[in-house]
């Protein structure tokens, strides 16, 4: 009977981490643009999107709204029409 008890092990099903990915980074200076225009997403983001790995070109669309009302309206439309999951990007000036 002792052997039977040793064979029984407690197991649990693995579940994905559903917490949002939050990454702090810096904008990098681009000589061509003469401005800080380069964003490096980092490994945590590239691991989430397998298409980012490799040398195949990837395009993006950036939308910027100048007030919260327009932004909120756009996010609501994206969610309601299942257009995808947007990223939030905050630009913060270090003092």
**From the first residue on, what is the mean pLDDT of each consecutive set of 10 residues in the chain (95 residues)?**
59 66 91 94 86 88 94 94 88 85
* Cβ neighbourhood burial of 45 (10 Å; 0-12, 13-18, 19+): middle
Buried/exposed code over 67-94 (b: 16+ C-beta within 10 A; e: otherwise): eeeeeeeeeeeeeeeeeeeeeeeeeeee
């Amino acid at each position: 009977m002792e052997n039977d008890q040793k064979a029984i092990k407690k197991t649990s099903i693995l579940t994905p981490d559903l917490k949002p990915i939050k990454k702090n980074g810096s904008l990098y200076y681009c000589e061509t643009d003469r401005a800080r225009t380069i964003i490096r997403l980092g490994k945590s983001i590239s691991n989430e999107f397998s298409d980012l790995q490799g040398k195949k070109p990837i395009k993006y669309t950036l939308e910027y709204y100048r007030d919260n009302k327009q932004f909120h309206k756009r996010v609501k439309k994206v969610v309601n029409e299942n257009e995808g999951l947007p990223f939030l990007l905050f630009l913060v000036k270090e003092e």
